[in-house]
Amino acid sequence: MESEFGAALRAWRDRLSPHELGLPTGARRRASGLRREELAGLAGISVDYLTRLEQGRAQGPSDQVVAALARALRLSDRERGLLFGLAGVAQPGPGMIPRHVAPSVQRMLDRFTGTPVIVFDASWTLISANDAYRAVMGDTSAWVGHEANGVWRAFTGAGTRARLTAEESEEQRRRLVLDLRLAAARYPGDPRLRDLIRDLRRRSPDFGELWDEPGGESAPARRKVIDHPEVGPIGLDCDTVEVAGDDLRVMIYTAVPGTEDASRLALAVALGVQPQAASGDGSGRRSSR
């Protein structure tokens, strides 16, 4: 039997226009709203899991899944609160790192279809990325837990397509540790942040040494070379915009118009932005590439 949570998902899915999200409509589309596979793809969960949620056959979705569905459905703050309530999941309270993507930021992700954009929270944990980012930088849908955190990936040797010299890598690490230290001062009660710092200290002696050092300001890299497996190296300008009220970091990758880098960027996006069938084990994750 369809639950209130499932009914709300279905109603909000039906009201969304595929056109405004940049999705193909097609002549054979019967309904004006999103198909299940489209919503599942936007939220990064399997179609089977979404079906069971809508039909009331799956109970107790995690706060990450509810937040991902709220983002994918473009819910207002009030609607988002209602969805969390129907799921029986508490929203982040005072002292917790904000992980909500405001509608204005979501519009940026939706409309910059040819521009790679990724959103991180104050601890550099991935919140959302658009299709162009995944096309250029690689799939992020299989990242779970600490894997989705930029600091963790920098200190544990996780793969990246960004080409960094040893000096650039060290500077990046120092900047990330400084940012994480500042986040810990702002959100001392956030359990996920405490777990991340504890696990980083256990996993990486280098992190522990930098964490214990007095930190100073450091400027983020403004230009990166991305080694794309199909189109080759792409030189991109990387600009970080901070959303102060929501404490988010929005990273935007662009190329100088009319250059070979711009052509390679456009080709990488065209090759990577293709409809993908969502698959998974029902836990809220899609399979990796």
pLDDT for res 90: 73
pLDDT for res 248: 92
Per-residue tens of pLDDT for the chain, all 289 residues? 458 899 999 999 988 877 776 666 665 656 678 888 888 888 878 899 999 999 988 888 888 788 889 888 888 878 888 998 888 877 766 678 988 887 778 888 888 889 999 999 999 999 888 889 999 999 887 788 899 999 999 999 887 899 989 998 999 999 999 999 999 999 998 999 999 999 999 999 999 999 998 766 655 668 899 999 999 999 999 999 988 778 999 999 999 999 999 999 999 999 987 644 333 434 444 333 3
pLDDT for res 152: 97
Q: Could you tell me if 75 and 67 are in contact, meaning their C-beta atoms sit under 8 angstroms apart? A: no
Phi-psi region of 256 (alpha: psi -120 to 50; beta: other; left: phi over 0): beta
β-partners of residue 242 are 249
Question: In this structure, are 45 and 137 located in the same domain?
Answer: no
Please give the tally of structural domains in the chain. 2
Residue 74 CA: distances (Å) to CA of 5, 31, 101, 104, 117:
16, 18, 9, 10, 17
Question: In this structure, are 36 and 135 located in the same domain?
Answer: no
Cα atoms in the Cβ-side hemisphere of radius 13 Å centred on 268:
32
Question: In this structure, are 83 and 145 located in the same domain?
Answer: no
Question: In this structure, are 143 and 30 located in the same domain?
Answer: no
Is 110 among the domain residues?
yes
Question: In this structure, are 117 and 250 located in the same domain?
Answer: yes
| Structural domain range at position 219 | 103-272
pLDDT for res 94: 67
Final residue of a structural domain among 54, 87, 120: 87
Question: In this structure, are 25 and 160 located in the same domain?
Answer: no
Residues in the chain: 289
Q: Beta strands 223-228 and 248-254: pairing type?
A: unpaired
Is 24 among the domain residues?
yes
pLDDT for res 182: 92
Question: In this structure, are 75 and 165 located in the same domain?
Answer: no
Question: In this structure, are 236 and 161 located in the same domain?
Answer: yes
Residue 64 CA: distances (Å) to CA of 100, 132, 144, 237, 283:
11, 22, 10, 31, 11
pLDDT for res 256: 95
Question: In this structure, are 55 and 128 located in the same domain?
Answer: no
pTM given for the model = 0.74
Question: In this structure, are 79 and 114 located in the same domain?
Answer: no
Question: In this structure, are 164 and 116 located in the same domain?
Answer: yes
Q: The domain that contains 75 carries what CATH number? A: 1.10.260.40
235 burial (CB, 10 Å; 0-12 / 13-18 / 19+) is middle
β-partners of residue 234 are 226
